[in-house]
C-alpha cells in the first residue's frame, strides 16, 4: 500500500500558473456562453467556428494587454489608468476589426451588412469582453498584492515578537553572574577547588540551557523545575542554610508547557529581597497545580515583604516582575493572569496562571491549522486532553 501525503498549496502560490489557469478558464467560459446564446438564437453549427476564432483572437490580444498592465501596475494611478484605457481602446478596435473581417469572409451571403456596421457591432461586444478582462486582471492582482502585504506584516510582527522575547529571555540579571563568578574566585583563592569546580560546573550547565533553547520555546514544567533547581544549587553554595527552597508540584501539571526560564527571575528576586536582607534567611516556595484548564504557579517567600510606607511593589523587586509579565503577555495574550500580593503571614507572593498545553496538543493544533482536516482537540479551551485523531495521509 502506498501513502500519498496531502499538501494543500494556496492557489496563488505560483502566480504564473494561476494566471494561465484563470486566463484559459475565462476565455473557455466566454466561448461556452457565446456558443450557447448563438445556438439558442438558431445559429448554425458553423457559427461556432467563428466564435472559436473570435475567442482565440481575444485570448491573444488580452495576453498583449497583460504585458502592458504588468509594466504599469506599479506606476502612479494617473499613468496606470490612462495607459489601461488607451490599451483597452486600441485592443478593442483591433479585436473588432478582426472579428468583422472573419465574419465577412466566412459568411458573405449571411452577414451581407457593410463592413463598418459589422465592425461597430463587434466593437461593442469585444470592448465589453476586454474591459471585463482588464477589470478582473487588476482586481485579482490587487487582491494578491493585498494578501502578500498582509502576510509580510504578519511575518514582520512575528519577527518583532521573537526579537522581543529574545531580549526578555536573555535579560539575565548581571548581578547573578557577577556574584557567582565572584564566589568562584573567592573559593579558588581559598584553595577550595572542589567547591569552586562544583559551582563552575553548575553555572556552565545552567548557561548551556539558556543557549540551547530558543527564546520563544516552551518546555515541560518538569524541565523548568529541574533548571530552576540547578540555579538554586548555585545560589545555595553562596547562601548555604539561609536559602531554603521548597517545591510543591502537582503531578497533573508535570507535562504542561511553560516559557523556558520563566520562573528564574521571580526566584532571583525572592532571593534578593527575601533571603539577602534577613540574617536567618527565608523559605522560597514554588508550587504548581491544575485549576480548571489552566496551570497556576505560585512563587512565594517568607521574607520581610514590602517595606513600610512603600506602596508600589514593583519598586522592591527590580525588573523580574515586569520581565515575566511581558513574556506572558507576548506568549499568551489575554489568556494568562499575573498578580502579586503581600501575604498575611508575611513575605511576598507572585501568582501566574497560563493555559494548560502539552507538546502533543500543540502538535495537533499546528497540524489542524495547517489544513489537516477537522480534529477532535478534546474539551474546549484545554487544547490538551483527549488529543486529536490526526489523519495526515491518504492510503491507497
160-196 pLDDT, tens digit per residue, is 655 555 554 555 556 667 777 888 888 888 888 888 8
What is the dihedral angle through the alpha carbons of 350, 355, 358, 360, rounded to the nearest 10 degrees? -170
pLDDT at residue number 311: 45
**Per-domain residue ranges for the chain?**
3-165, 170-357
Report the candidate in 298, 294, 286 with the shortest Cα–Cα distance to residue 252.
294
Rounded to two decimals, the pTM is 0.52
pLDDT at residue number 256: 92
Spell out the CATH class of 170-357: alpha beta
CB 63 within 8 A of CB 91: no
pLDDT digits (tens, 9 = 90+) for 237-283: 888 899 999 999 999 999 999 988 888 888 888 888 888 888 898 99
pLDDT at residue number 370: 60
Amino acid at each position: 500500500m502506498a501513502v500519498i501525503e496531502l499538501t494543500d498549496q494556496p492557489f496563488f502560490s505560483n502566480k504564473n500558473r494561476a494566471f494561465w489557469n484563470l486566463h484559459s478558464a475565462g476565455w473557455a467560459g466566454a466561448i461556452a456562453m457565446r456558443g450557447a446564446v448563438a445556438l439558442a438564437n438558431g445559429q448554425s453549427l458553423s457559427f461556432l467556428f467563428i466564435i472559436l476564432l473570435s475567442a482565440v483572437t481575444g485570448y491573444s490580444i488580452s495576453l498583449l494587454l497583460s504585458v502592458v498592465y504588468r509594466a504599469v501596475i506599479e506606476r502612479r494611478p494617473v499613468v496606470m489608468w490612462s495607459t489601461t484605457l488607451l490599451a483597452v481602446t486600441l485592443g478593442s478596435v483591433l479585436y473588432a476589426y478582426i472579428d468583422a473581417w472573419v465574419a465577412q469572409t466566412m459568411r458573405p451571403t449571411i452577414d451581407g451588412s457593410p463592413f463598418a456596421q459589422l465592425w461597430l457591432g463587434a466593437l461593442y461586444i469585444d470592448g465589453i469582453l476586454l474591459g471585463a478582462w482588464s477589470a478582473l486582471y487588476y482586481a485579482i492582482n490587487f487582491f494578491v498584492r493585498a494578501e502578500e502585504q498582509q502576510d509580510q506584516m504578519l511575518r514582520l510582527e512575528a519577527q518583532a515578537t521573537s526579537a522581543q522575547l529574545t531580549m526578555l529571555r536573555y535579560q539575565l540579571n548581571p548581578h547573578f553572574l557577577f556574584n557567582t563568578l565572584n564566589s568562584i574566585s573567592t573559593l579558588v583563592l581559598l584553595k577550595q577547588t572542589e567547591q569552586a569546580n562544583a559551582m563552575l560546573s553548575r553555572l556552565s550547565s545552567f548557561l548551556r540551557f539558556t543557549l540551547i533553547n530558543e527564546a520563544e520555546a516552551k518546555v515541560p514544567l518538569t524541565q523548568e523545575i529541574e533548571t530552576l533547581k540547578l540555579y538554586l544549587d548555585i545560589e545555595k553554595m553562596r547562601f548555604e542554610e539561609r536559602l531554603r527552597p521548597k517545591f510543591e508540584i502537582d503531578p497533573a501539571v508535570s507535562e504542561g508547557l511553560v516559557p523556558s526560564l520563566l520562573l528564574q527571575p521571580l526566584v532571583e528576586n525572592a532571593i534578593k529581597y527575601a533571603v539577602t536582607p534577613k540574617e536567618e534567611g527565608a523559605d522560597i516556595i514554588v508550587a504548581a497545580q491544575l485549576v480548571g484548564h489552566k496551570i497556576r504557579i505560585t512563587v512565594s517567600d517568607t521574607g520581610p515583604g514590602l517595606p513600610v510606607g512603600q506602596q508600589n511593589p514593583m519598586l522592591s523587586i527590580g525588573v523580574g516582575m515586569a520581565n515575566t509579565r511581558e513574556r506572558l503577555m507576548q506568549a499568551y495574550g489575554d489568556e494568562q493572569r499575573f498578580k502579586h500580593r503581600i501575604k498575611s503571614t508575611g513575605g511576598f507572593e507572585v501568582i501566574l496562571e497560563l493555559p494548560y498545553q502539552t507538546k502533543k496538543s500543540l502538535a495537533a493544533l499546528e497540524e489542524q491549522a495547517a489544513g489537516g482536516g477537522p480534529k477532535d482537540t478534546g474539551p474546549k479551551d484545554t487544547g490538551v486532553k483527549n488529543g486529536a485523531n490526526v489523519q495526515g495521509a491518504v492510503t491507497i
